[in-house]
């Protein structure tokens, strides 16, 4: 299966694992325009660690390279739904004015100090590897029991629990019977 990295499908050596999510803290927020003239909000993010499990943000982190990286929120037609969704997840209501994301604007909405998750996306261009950082929102997956299956699930769990207790008691009895 191709990973899209290019020659021999090897991951580029960029110092970041492109399959992992990173925890970071926004240290600076700035606004400007993209090369196409669209509003763009830049977030400088200090990396705090790499998630041990992308699907369990509460599962801890391990050391990440000490760095401040940049991600962008782009207000271009092609990105608008993604930008709106990402901002809503960061607490910025869609009824607000996007200008409020710009420092110095009335009713400024600051993301500085906010903890966020990012993923490195290496890109090869003209023989040079660039790393772009994308916002990620790992889901906290809580186990759920379907209401219609609740009783049978609990009954099976109780049976397995009792079986395990019986096996443990039998093992305990067997070890007591073995003469030394």
pLDDT at position 162 is 87
Residues 162-179: what's their mean pLDDT? Answer: 76
pLDDT value at position 44? 97
State the pTM of this model: 0.70
- In sign, the C-alpha dihedral spanning 95, 101, 107, 111 is positive
Report the alpha-carbon distance of residue 39 to residue 93 in Å, rounded: 17
Render the burial of 46-80: b for 16+ CB within 10 Å, e for the rest: ebeebbeebeebeeebeebeeeebebbbbbeeebe
Two tokens at 58?
A: 């509460």
CATH topology for the 14-136 domain: OB fold (Dihydrolipoamide Acetyltransferase, E2P) (2.40.50)
Number of other CB atoms surrounding residue 131 within 10 Å:
16
Give pLDDT tens digits for 52-87: 988 888 889 999 989 999 999 999 999 899 999 999
Task: Take residue 151 and report the two structure tokens written for it.
Answer: 């009783």
Q: What is the pLDDT averaged over residues 27-33? A: 96
For residues 44 and 22, what is the distance between their CA atoms, to the nearest angstrom?
A: 14
* DSSP structure class, residue 147: G
Percentage of the chain lying above the pLDDT 70 cut: 87
- What are φ and ψ of residue 114, in 5° steps? -75, 140
In the chain, what are the domain boundaries? 14-136, 147-177
């Amino acid at each position: 299966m191709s990973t899209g990295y290019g020659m021999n499908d090897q991951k580029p050596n960029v110092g970041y694992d492109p399959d992992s999510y990173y925890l970071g803290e926004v240290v600076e927020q700035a606004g400007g325009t993209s090369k196409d003239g669209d509003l763009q909000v830049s977030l400088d993010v200090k990396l705090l660690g790499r998630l041990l499990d992308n699907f369990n943000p509460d599962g801890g982190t391990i050391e990440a390279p000490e760095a401040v990286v940049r991600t962008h929120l782009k207000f271009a037609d092609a990105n608008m739904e993604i930008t709106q969704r990402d901002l809503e997840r960061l607490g910025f209501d869609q009824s607000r004015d996007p200008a409020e994301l710009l420092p110095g604007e009335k009713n400024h909405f600051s993301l500085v100090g906010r903890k966020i998750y990012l993923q490195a996306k290496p890109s090869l261009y003209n023989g040079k590897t660039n790393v772009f950082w994308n916002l990620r929102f790992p889901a906290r997956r809580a186990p759920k029991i379907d209401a219609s299956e609740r009783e049978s699930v609990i009954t099976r769990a109780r049976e397995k629990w009792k079986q395990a207790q019986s096996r443990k008691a039998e093992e305990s009895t067997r070890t007591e019977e073995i003469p030394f």
